[in-house]
Amino acid sequence: MKVIQHTAKTLHNALVSNSHDLVQIYDKYTKEEKLLLEDGYRAGQTGSLFQPITVHSDSDWISAHPEEPQDFQSFYRDRHRKIPSASCNTVYIQTIGSFGEAGVDTDQYVEWLRDYCQAFFHGLSVKSLPAVSVSDTQCSFRVNSNSHNLQILTGDLLQFLRRKKPKDAFCIIGITMIDLYPKDSWNFVFGQASLSEGMGVFSFARYDDNFNSKCYAGRLTKQLQPKQGDYSVFEGYYTPPITSMLLLRSCKTMTHEIGHMFGIRHCQWLNCIMQGSNHLEESDRRPLDLCPICLHKLHVSLGFDIADRYKALLSWMEEGQSQTSGLHCFHEHPWEYPSFAFGTVILF
């Protein structure tokens, strides 16, 4: 285990820069906003809202995928980064395939996910498109030879999203409960995106705690060799139960991947939702929110009031708590809104 502890000076340069025009941008923050952002210099110390990055093993992202750190200056100067415009300022969420039995559970899950993205990317509109079936996408699919579960091809799904993308879209995100693969030689992939075209597709199938167990319900019990184009194999196919942990993991994935659409790369400064993730355990260790450096990047792209953004996130949390108090259960487990992760926001 290794802790990556940057000096206060290094973090200051990454956040503010020494460039005069970028210092002027930073100086537009209020005293209270600067107090929050500069709390990152004290990461790991008693009372700080932020923590340094801890690398637990060589399989973690930073060890396995060395990348050039992106400070605010390199982000701001990147001529390829995308900024929402008056005519393209909506994030669209497209569900693909079954999300379980139709009804309040599934509808509420998608609505909560949409509302969370709306609060996280404060100032952007986030809309859900009508759900589509796997057959609607006309994508290729297969049975994984190792895990024996159904998988659909990401490249075909991206082509479908390209055709479906509304004209006012900043980006379109496809989500599915079915496992994905990018090409025949790969075992699986969590998702795939085209940042230049503002679209991506991501699967939550492997967020099921039982996915890697022999009793996983998505394993096909017989050697099935479905023919391409025969989408009846997806009728009644298993999807993970909707739980608070699934919602928590889904919120993290959605905001991380949409963050990339703005040109925000993997964070290597502090513990942050924009950190890369090589496996589920590492993904679960990531916090729900941005570090000060990545928050600065998002803020300059959207121009929200920082306090208003946190209030929107808190409102989402509190509304969920009041809603779930009236629900009996989801899949034999009491439904718990994943609000525990927002404890530090209350301090701000």
Indicate which residues carry an active-site annotation: 257
3-state secondary structure of 109: helix
Which residues partner with 132 through β-bridges? 96
Q: Which helix (H) or strand (E) holds 259?
A: helix 244-261
Beta bridge partners of 96: 132, 176
Across-strand partners of 219? Answer: none
- CA nearest to 298, candidates 119, 128, 43, 113: 119
Contact 206, 190 (CB under 8 A): yes
DSSP characters over 20-82: HHHHHHHTTS-HHHHHHHGGGGGTTSTT-S---EEE-STTSHHHHS------HHHHHH-TT--
Q: Which segments within the chain are labelled E, that is strand? A: 2-4, 53-55, 90-96, 125-132, 141-143, 150-153, 169-176, 179-181, 191-194, 199-203
Query: What is the H or E stretch that residue 160 is in?
Result: helix 154-164
The Cβ-side half-sphere exposure at 52, using a 13 Å CA radius, reads 19
| Matching residue, tokens 């209020």 | 30
Q: For residues 48 and 347, is the Cβ–Cβ distance under 8 A?
A: no
Q: Supply 190's token pair.
A: 């969590």
Q: Is 61 within 8 Å of 276 (Cβ atoms)?
A: yes
User: What count of other Cβ atoms lies within 10 Å of the Cβ of residue 21?
Assistant: 9
β-sheet with 90-96: strand ranges across: 125-132, 90-96, 169-176, 199-203, 191-194
